[in-house]
């Protein structure tokens, strides 16, 4: 296997374009899974553009498949006094694959400090059962350790399509960069699968929007707590909301996905 840190380190740069090759163990079917495409967009921006403040928000559109060697081209769209907007295009041999818009922003002093994202009360990861299992075609999941902490598992036909997981990279380096965190957040299956009785068709994320709630990307023992919920499943698409906390139950990011469900 190619570990996540090894794959990021193998990225090369030629002028304004980066390139990377996803090995077979990072594929979902015939394409690399969306979380890796997003991570490569973030890594390329960090390499090509200097003096970026912390990432605050990111939007990804997964337009087509990405396999083998991909080319990633980040462009600074605008630099302000405290924010930088970056556009990133990722191409593969078959054409356009991913478009990202990234918003970076320096911290500012404020008279208001408010939060309302309490973590679910769940057991610690060492007492929770394993979540991921080998599934033909989903090669990438072997890179992640997941523990089922609450809610309803996929294909249980339960009333509420939501579940809670502990997640971490199996990479011994326990990467804690924003790119690594984004890759990890996309590892679980969509919560919409809770409503089905068995896998009977492909699933594909169409768009993904992420808001970073802090620039302190740290946790204990590599573990992160994720809760995801399908809010609407209709006409073959699902709208999904996800929140991620660190091991101390501090909120780190929130995101929304629009997922095509071919079932």
The number of helices, as runs of H, and strands, as runs of E, in the chain is 3, 14
Name the nearest CA neighbour of 148 among 125, 176, 174.
125
At 198 the pLDDT is 84
Name the nearest CA neighbour of 210 among 252, 259, 262.
252
Which residue segments constitute the domains of the chain, with CATH numbers given? 4-106+122-261 (2.40.160.210)
At 108 the pLDDT is 87
- DSSP output for 45-74: HHHHSSS---EEEEEEEE-S---SEEEEEE
Name the nearest CA neighbour of 40 among 143, 179, 142, 171.
179
Name the nearest CA neighbour of 55 among 44, 65, 64, 42.
42
Helix ranges (H only) for the chain are: 4-9, 34-48, 178-185
Distant-in-sequence, close-in-space partners of 108: CB < 8 Å, separation ≥ 6: 82
At 142 the pLDDT is 95
At 263 the pLDDT is 67
Q: Are 212 and 177 in contact (CB under 8 A)?
A: no
At 41 the pLDDT is 98
DSSP conformational letter for 126? G
- How many Cβ atoms from other residues are within 10 Å of residue 214's Cβ? 14
Name the nearest CA neighbour of 96 among 68, 70, 59.
70
Tens-digit pLDDT string for the chain (263 aa): 899 999 999 999 999 999 999 999 999 988 999 999 999 999 999 999 989 999 999 999 999 999 889 999 999 999 999 999 999 999 998 899 999 999 999 998 889 989 899 999 999 999 999 999 888 888 999 999 999 999 999 999 999 999 999 999 999 998 889 999 999 999 999 999 999 988 767 788 999 999 999 999 999 999 999 999 999 999 999 999 999 999 999 999 999 999 998 76
- DSSP output for 139-154: GGGGGEEEEEEEE--T
């Amino acid at each position: 296997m190619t570990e996540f840190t090894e794959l990021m380190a193998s990225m090369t740069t030629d002028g304004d374009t980066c390139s990377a090759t996803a090995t077979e163990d990072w594929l979902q079917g015939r394409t690399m899974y969306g979380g890796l495409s997003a991570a490569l967009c973030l890594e390329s921006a960090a390499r090509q553009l200097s003096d970026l403040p912390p990432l605050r928000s990111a939007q990804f559109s997964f337009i087509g498949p990405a396999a083998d060697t991909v080319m990633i081209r980040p462009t600074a769209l605008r630099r302000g006094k405290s924010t930088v907007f970056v556009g990133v295009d990722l191409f593969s041999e078959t054409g356009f694959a991913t478009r990202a818009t990234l918003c970076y922003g320096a911290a500012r002093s404020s008279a208001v400090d408010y939060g309302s994202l309490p973590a679910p009360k769940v057991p610690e990861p060492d007492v929770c059962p394993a979540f991921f299992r080998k599934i033909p075609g989903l090669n990438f999941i072997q890179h992640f350790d997941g523990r089922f902490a609450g809610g309803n598992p996929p294909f249980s036909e339960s009333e509420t399509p939501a579940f809670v997981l502990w997640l971490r990279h199996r990479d011994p380096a326990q990467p804690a960069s924003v790119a690594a965190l984004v890759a990890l957040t996309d590892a679980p299956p969509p919560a919409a699968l809770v409503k089905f009785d068995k896998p009977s068709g492909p699933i594909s994320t169409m768009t993904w929007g992420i808001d970073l709630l802090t620039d302190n990307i740290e946790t204990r023992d590599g573990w992160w707590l994720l809760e995801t919920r399908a809010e609407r499943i209709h006409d073959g698409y699902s709208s999904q909301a996800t929140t991620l906390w660190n091991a101390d139950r501090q909120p780190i990011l929130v995101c929304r996905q629009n997922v095509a469900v071919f079932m």
